[in-house]
């Protein structure tokens, strides 16, 4: 789906053209009410027919507005029939209804069918007025020509408005597409392709403004030996599995990163050092008890974790150095364990 089509689908009746169509429907209903009131206040020979037609016209268009139905040819046919009936019964303000109907239909069909739409409305208007007229007096001809010219001007204006709104939608579609591409590129630049975790760049950005958190540095024990013994494909499988265990073992507010190579970093905002150590121990236990197989043989994988706490007065690099120091202590003490700085 193109960017413009996505904008159309997302906005639906929220775009400017559709809003104008709804507004003109409502104005049409209000105009028909004025026609009905005028017939009641100054009753002529067909005042009852005018009241009935105006009522139907008002109710029909108000219902369409309430349902937010998009203009269709059926609506054009019904409204033109009602407008012609009002014209034939001598209703005042009926010419306004033709103009409002034409505007919303041209906004619907656009430039390609605007001429045919204007011709259809004009023909019905002319036919109704000619049938109603007793004589072809100059005043009648001038008024008829004036309204037909008005139809043409209104159509041109509506087409221009339609084109401007289409250009606006295209522009918004292009902006939406650029935003989507930028978001995709940002995600690609900040995500590790193998594990799906955030990467080192994302770690630097997301920890820069955090004042307090617990940091866990996770390292897969003897990873180089694993690669040399079982191959890099098995090493990638281990990295992916450990990454999944980490993702599933942290809370929603926590952040997990593949810091580089076989090292992972976990940032736990608003967490005590004691709770951070418990989370680290749980992750260590889960990896140690996870089944890794190579050619049918089970391979034991373990991790070592260093834990530190970043305080508001400390620098994020200080917290990393402390966690890294604790990690190396865990390794010196025999690996497959957690150490706190």
Is pLDDT larger for residue 281 or for residue 155?
281
Q: Which of 21-30, 241-250, 282-291 has the lowest mean pLDDT?
A: 21-30
* pLDDT tens-digit series, residues 57-66: 999 988 888 8
| E-assigned strand segments in the chain | 213-220, 255-260, 263-269, 292-294, 297-299, 303-310, 338-340
d(CA 196, CA 193): 6
The pair phi, psi for residue 266, each rounded to 5°, is -120, 125
Give the C-alpha separation, 113 to 278, whole Å.
Answer: 71
Out of 143, 166, 205, 262, the active site residue is 262
329 Cβ neighbours under 8 A, 6+ residues apart: 306, 339
Angstrom distance (rounded) from CA 160 to CA 144: 25
Spatial separation of the C-alpha atoms in residues 206 and 269, rounded to whole Å: 11
What is the predicted pLDDT for the residue at 138? 77
Q: Model confidence at 6, in pLDDT bands (50, 70, 90)?
A: very low
Mean pLDDT of 16-36: 84
pLDDT of residue 3: 44
Q: What is the structure's pLDDT at 15?
A: 62
Contact assessment for residue 286 and residue 245, using Cβ atoms and an 8 Å cutoff:
yes
Question: Which pTM does this prediction carry?
Answer: 0.56
What mean pLDDT is reported for the chain?
Answer: 87
Q: Which of 159, 24, 19 is nearest to 100 (CA)?
A: 24
Please check the confidence at residue 10 and state whether its pLDDT lies above 70.
no
Confidence tier at 201 by pLDDT (50, 70, 90): very high
pLDDT > 80? residue 139 = no
Domains of the chain, by residue range, sit at 3-180, 200-340
Percent of residues, the chain, with pLDDT higher than 90: 52
* Section 311-321 average pLDDT: 90
Give the CATH number of domain 200-340; options: 3.30.70.270, 3.40.50.720, 3.30.465.10, 3.40.50.740.
3.30.70.270
- Establish whether 262 is a catalytic residue: yes
Does position 14 have pLDDT exceeding 80, yes or no?
A: no
* Average pLDDT estimate for 282-290: 96
Task: Lowest mean pLDDT of 36-45, 159-168, 226-235, name the range.
Answer: 159-168
Helices then strands, counting H and E runs in the chain, come out as 12, 7
Mutual orientation of helices 138-189 and 94-109 as an angle, nearest 10°?
A: 30
List pLDDT tens digits, range 145-195. Answer: 888 888 888 888 777 777 777 777 778 788 888 888 888 888 888 999 999
| Residue 4 pLDDT exceeds 70 | no
Q: Residue 242 corresponds to which tokens in the numbers above?
A: 């450990």
* Mean per-residue pLDDT, 132-140: 75
- The answer, yes or no, to whether residue 83 has pLDDT greater than 60, is yes
Residue 110 banded pLDDT, cuts 50, 70, 90: confident
The pLDDT of residue 17 is: 67
Phi-psi region of 68 (alpha: psi -120 to 50; beta: other; left: phi over 0): left
């Amino acid at each position: 789906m193109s960017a413009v089509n996505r904008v159309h689908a997302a906005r639906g009746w929220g775009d400017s053209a559709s809003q104008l169509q709804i507004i003109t429907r409502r104005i049409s209903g209000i105009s028909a009410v004025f026609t009905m009131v005028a017939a009641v206040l100054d009753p002529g020979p067909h005042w009852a027919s005018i009241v009935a037609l105006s009522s139907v016209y008002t109710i029909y268009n108000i219902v369409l507005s309430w349902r937010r139905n998009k203009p269709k040819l059926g609506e054009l046919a019904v409204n033109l029939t009602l407008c012609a009936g009002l014209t034939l019964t001598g209703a005042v303000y009926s010419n306004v209804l033709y103009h409002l109907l034409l505007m919303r239909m041209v906004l619907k069909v656009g430039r390609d069918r605007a001429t045919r739409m204007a011709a259809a409305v004009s023909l019905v208007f002319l036919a109704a007025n000619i049938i109603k007229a007793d004589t072809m007096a100059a005043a009648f001809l001038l008024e008829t020509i004036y309204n037909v010219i008005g139809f043409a001007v209104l159509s041109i204006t509506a087409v221009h408005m339609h084109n401007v709104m289409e250009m606006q939608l295209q522009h918004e579609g292009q902006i939406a597409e650029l935003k989507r591409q930028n978001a995709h590129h940002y995600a690609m630049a900040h995500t590790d392709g193998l594990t799906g975790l955030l990467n080192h760049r994302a770690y630097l950005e997301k920890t820069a403004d955090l004042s307090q958190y617990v940091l866990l540095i996770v390292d897969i024990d003897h990873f180089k030996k694993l690669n040399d013994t079982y191959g890099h494909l098995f090493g990638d499988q281990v990295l992916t599995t450990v990454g999944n265990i980490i993702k599933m073992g942290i809370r929603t507010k926590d952040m997990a990163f593949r810091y580089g190579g076989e090292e992972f970093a976990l940032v736990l905002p608003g967490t005590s050092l004691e709770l951070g150590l418990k989370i680290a121990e749980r992750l260590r236990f889960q990896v140690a008890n996870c089944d890794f197989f190579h050619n049918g043989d089970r391979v034991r994988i373990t991790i070592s974790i260093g834990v530190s706490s970043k305080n508001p007065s400390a620098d994020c690099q200080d917290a990393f150095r402390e966690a890294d120091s604790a990690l190396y202590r865990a390794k010196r003490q025999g690996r497959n364990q957690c150490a706190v700085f």
